[in-house]
Structure 1
């Protein structure tokens, strides 16, 4: 199982492709705060709920100085279809080999319907303007997570 990040640690830099195939690098956001959230699979019920909650909160998150990046092991084409269908206006990034998820502690053992397997653990890491972890939340629930994160960050609607 990969090591989970802790508050104050340096957030591992990464470069991943977005839904249009362009490269996005975390360090290019230095100087502002970034919410990096990991979700298991585009277009599934829980992941759609979470993505739409981020979409609907994007204005207030942006006003508070946060950029949102969603990361999943889905290929770019699936991210493009998901982004278009749900009118998502923030970058979705493809981590097909789950190397970034592993570096962030968001890949590991999961249990579902009595089966144990390796997979993506729904997680959110807030990276501050200096590139350090400000918040690290693991095994979050899709429903209500964004509202809780907003409360934790002190962001009103």
Structure 2
């Protein structure tokens, strides 16, 4: 008898579950407010006619690029010029001052902002062009390969 009632229960369960049954799976997610900087192409420094300045703004110079993605409001961008070249020929670093600047397009539109000044960023993708000028106050830049790093900051 026990076997018969157990079998009856199984058959009853099978017959009642023959219809379609739906269930819902819930998904949750959070996008945190962030500022993401992606460095693009490096810049190129070119000498002025008197070899007293190396700049991405001179003929033959090229701006460096970066993209900034913001997922929240309240972020600002700035750049910091180096205090010295990361590599230079002998005497290349003597009596040199550096200055950076930047321009932006995309959700933020800026033109030739002095690097140390902070500028508000729009919400979304900003394309940044970064420029660097190295000026020699005494003498001229000797022949050789020069490298320098400009830091882009989003805060």
Instruction: Give the TM-score taking structure 2 as reference length.
Output: 0.25
Larger radius of gyration: 2
Bigger fraction of residues in strand: 2
Bigger fraction of residues in helix: 1
Between the two structures, name the one with larger relative contact order (CA 8 Å, sep ≥ 6). Answer: 1
